[in-house]
Structure 1
């Protein structure tokens, strides 16, 4: 491995090629129009001395043990994140999948520089009571635009983040379910009085079904549907809600078709059994089912289109709502705006939550899920118009540069290269999988996974883990084959070492 005078850490092949060209300066990236490093720059260990000093300072005032390093966002650019010690890292993790165009994209900076937009940012409204005059048009022209909204979902409720989106979507589902039981009748005196002391009939015992390995957030209701890591749930009271098995497939998929089909059937049968048990034995009928198109935090666990089609059929059969959580998969990383579009569902999901790449949170839903009364789903901000400004700029770039097509092309390129590496290092990595650039592979053990992620960091690659053994890749939509080659040079070197 060569290290040139600017500390660019690259593989032998890549370094030699660039050193011959005399490349030691910043280069304008044609993809984003911003200035990116030509390659990773590793000047210190990571975290470096300045990061460690800042961590000590932060830890004195709050719990900060999850901090990996301190970033310099003023200097970060495109697909590269800069830290405070001068390291430039190719970021294939992108703030846990929440940066669609990378860092400091000119279109986003330009939107923030607009004097009209500055007044929107400066005067943040309580949207539920005092929205601005242009708010209906912004919703229709940005979030409900034909190429953005999930097909078949015409209503939207905006929120702040993924957790509060799911939390309030549960409320919408419970309200919808109760309205069906009430058959349009007004609230009774008994319901009004009993709900104030958390008792029936005003506080009915309904439930939300979720899946083993799921992650839907850390707020109280969401935690009862989150089952990925114990540290999220320890010491927190939870609802007695049903938990079904999510399919655990054998890889490669093409060599295990029959076994995986049987796994789908096993999990759907369990869903059916839980619907019946919670209705008849527990007296806590399932009002809704929440599921991720790909279980991200739980380990990038995939399920087939047939599984999701059958799940929708069973959910509808039992009169419950299907809520698809697209907080991490939404916004384009799978090659479609929404991952569930890959599944060819017979009808739209009843509710679909989003956040991360969409900059603000919220959920799309069918008209039937709009409450009849005001204040039933409400908080002070109900979203953030300033984030819709950024989202509008993002969506324009996605469309202008055909980024969803790029994601599909680059994702295919990455999966091919990863499968080649898997064949070369079958004792180290396995189960390569993904849609678009939403990609993961497993390591032989959790200790090996952690070692690979740390080794990649020393070579200037910021990656992430999920589940117990997976390395996950969450690059920006602007990620290209050139960036992928830099990543593969580093990964190949790590696997050889």
Structure 2
């Protein structure tokens, strides 16, 4: 049950094509070879001789890639609706990004990368305030930079622990026994605490984040992890408007389960210090939750006095038509923590003041982020505002979702459950095998797309993705579906 504001967006009429935001962008895909082609095959073999990276799909000529189009090593030009797993905000070689390091000052920031936790540049505070805080989630005015989504979540967990243990001690600093015992990973300095996550969630591949990740076995197999609890995330029936009663009951079932788990963890002396949740379970299959569900989670966190962490690593930065997807949920106040990366180009976390660590080095690593990424992000944010890209995203998203719904009605045995906010869209195939066949055939049509979960086709274009690109995608998908 997506918020009513979102449902209104989903029912808008189609829009006509507009100008390209990147001059010289190809008009359509062009395919010369199979994908991966012979040059990619040579490079794959060469790579394999020095690095085990069997996840590589094809090699890219980033010099030739432009706008919404990615060009592979064999010269195939594809409409890219996957964008390095939703990580390229303005497409390829956007002119505003290319000139971000034109100034001598920017170049010096790039080459003199500081250890920000101890020796930040004299303009670092201005960068934080003018760039990261300029797009902060409403109600959050504290920010910590990191390098990626995983380390952002790991450090968010630490803030949860610190707050909980400070409450347990009544604000008194840890004693000598605690300080000594933690060096041997023993109590009382190493307490038994947990974080609640959800089936289908993905939060990273480092140990704490991985303990909260429940989307694919290959992420976790053979890795020792914390014994942390996991709850059910809603699984709705589509179309939403035809299944209101069932989906409302699903929200209640999942919220009741969260309450039950929190109480059990306290009884088992392994209390939950917080809940981590994605606005849309991206890796797990693009599962949506309603405003009612997310409001309910916040109410539960307040009731139990634990931290509400919203992981916006994939949804943050504009792909839903708002900078932050949780803005659609009309929460009573801001989440306690919002983590980010991907389209934001740097990792990090926004948080409330009561989560500030008490001591130096409690949240720390050598780099604590990279100021050069904020130079790039500044260019992205200015371009979003200048070109009204959030509006563009909503318009393109309307065309995408309308097209997906038309295709699922046209091919009901192949597709179902079209859903999305902005261009953050997905549709399910009837089987995993069919989904993979559709993705492969889309490449032969010149469209690079991705999958997630068991059967979902996920769409993750750049913010410069327009209605004309959406129409090319829908046209290509229809052509592929007809082959079945």
| TM > 0.5 | yes
Greater CA deviation, 174-183 or 265-274? 174-183
In the alignment, which residue of structure 1 is the partner of 2:349?
363
SS at match of 2:358: coil
Does residue 250 in structure 1 map to residue 252 in structure 2? no
Question: 1:215 is matched with which residue: 194, 202, 213?
Answer: 202
SS at match of 2:89: coil
Q: Is residue 125–residue 381 contact of structure 1 (8 Å, CA) maintained in 2?
A: yes
CA offset at residue 30 of structure 1?
4.1
What is the distance in 2 between the residues matched to 1:186 and 1:102?
A: 49
Question: 1:433 is matched with which residue: 419, 444, 466?
Answer: 419
Question: 1:226 is matched with which residue: 189, 213, 217?
Answer: 213
Aligned pairs (5 A) from 1:309-328? 309-328=295-314
Q: Is residue 332–residue 477 contact of structure 1 (8 Å, CA) maintained in 2?
A: yes
In the alignment, which residue of structure 1 is the partner of 2:8?
none
Write out per-residue CA displacement over residues 126-168 of structure 1, whole angstroms, 9 at most, x where no aligned residue.
00000000000000000001xx110000000000000000011
SS at match of 1:113: coil
CA offset at residue 305 of structure 1?
0.3
Q: Is residue 399–residue 471 contact of structure 2 (8 Å, CA) maintained in 1?
A: no
What is the Cα-based RMSD across aligned positions, in Å? 0.8
Q: Is residue 34–residue 104 contact of structure 1 (8 Å, CA) maintained in 2?
A: no
CA offset at residue 469 of structure 1?
0.2
In the alignment, which residue of structure 2 is the partner of 1:25?
none
CA offset at residue 194 of structure 1?
1.1
* Unpaired stretches in structure 2, ≥5 consecutive residues: 1-17
CA offset at residue 32 of structure 1?
2.4
In the alignment, which residue of structure 2 is the partner of 1:415?
401
CA offset at residue 123 of structure 1?
0.4
In the alignment, which residue of structure 2 is the partner of 1:308?
294
In the alignment, which residue of structure 2 is the partner of 1:176?
163
In the alignment, which residue of structure 2 is the partner of 1:81?
70
In the alignment, which residue of structure 1 is the partner of 2:32?
43
SS at match of 1:309: helix
What is the distance in 1 between the residues matched to 2:24 and 2:111?
A: 29
CA offset at residue 42 of structure 1?
0.2
What is the distance in 2 between the residues matched to 1:341 and 1:483?
A: 26
Aligned pairs (5 A) from 1:253-332? 253-280=240-267, 282-332=268-318
Does residue 486 in structure 1 map to residue 475 in structure 2? no
SS at match of 2:65: coil
SS at match of 1:341: helix
Q: Is residue 32–residue 106 contact of structure 1 (8 Å, CA) maintained in 2?
A: no
What is the distance in 1 between the residues matched to 2:396 and 2:417?
A: 19
In the comparison of the two structures, how many residue pairs are matched? 466
What is the distance in 1 between the residues matched to 2:94 and 2:263?
A: 51
Does residue 90 in structure 1 map to residue 76 in structure 2? no
In the alignment, which residue of structure 2 is the partner of 1:424?
410
In the alignment, which residue of structure 2 is the partner of 1:190?
177
Write out per-residue CA displacement over residues 289-317 of structure 1, whole angstroms, 9 at most, x where no aligned residue.
00000000000000100000001001111
CA offset at residue 33 of structure 1?
3.2
Q: Is residue 117–residue 389 contact of structure 1 (8 Å, CA) maintained in 2?
A: yes
Q: Is residue 279–residue 286 contact of structure 1 (8 Å, CA) maintained in 2?
A: yes
Q: Is residue 55–residue 64 contact of structure 1 (8 Å, CA) maintained in 2?
A: no
CA offset at residue 114 of structure 1?
2.1
What is the distance in 2 between the residues matched to 1:79 and 1:177?
A: 45
What is the distance in 1 between the residues matched to 2:113 and 2:21?
A: 29
What is the distance in 2 between the residues matched to 1:62 and 1:267?
A: 43
In the alignment, which residue of structure 2 is the partner of 1:31?
20
In the alignment, which residue of structure 2 is the partner of 1:17?
none
Q: Is residue 22–residue 66 contact of structure 2 (8 Å, CA) maintained in 1?
A: no
CA offset at residue 238 of structure 1?
1.1
Output the TM-score relative to the length of structure 1.
Answer: 0.93
SS at match of 2:113: coil
Ranges of 4+ aligned residues in structure 1 off by more than 4 Å: none
CA offset at residue 393 of structure 1?
0.3
In the alignment, which residue of structure 2 is the partner of 1:204?
191
What is the distance in 1 between the residues matched to 2:44 and 2:109?
A: 34
Write out per-residue CA displacement over residues 17-39 of structure 1, whole angstroms, 9 at most, x where no aligned residue.
xxxxxxxxxxxx94323321111
* Unpaired stretches in structure 1, ≥5 consecutive residues: 1-28
Aligned pairs (5 A) from 1:131-170? 131-145=120-134, 148-170=135-157
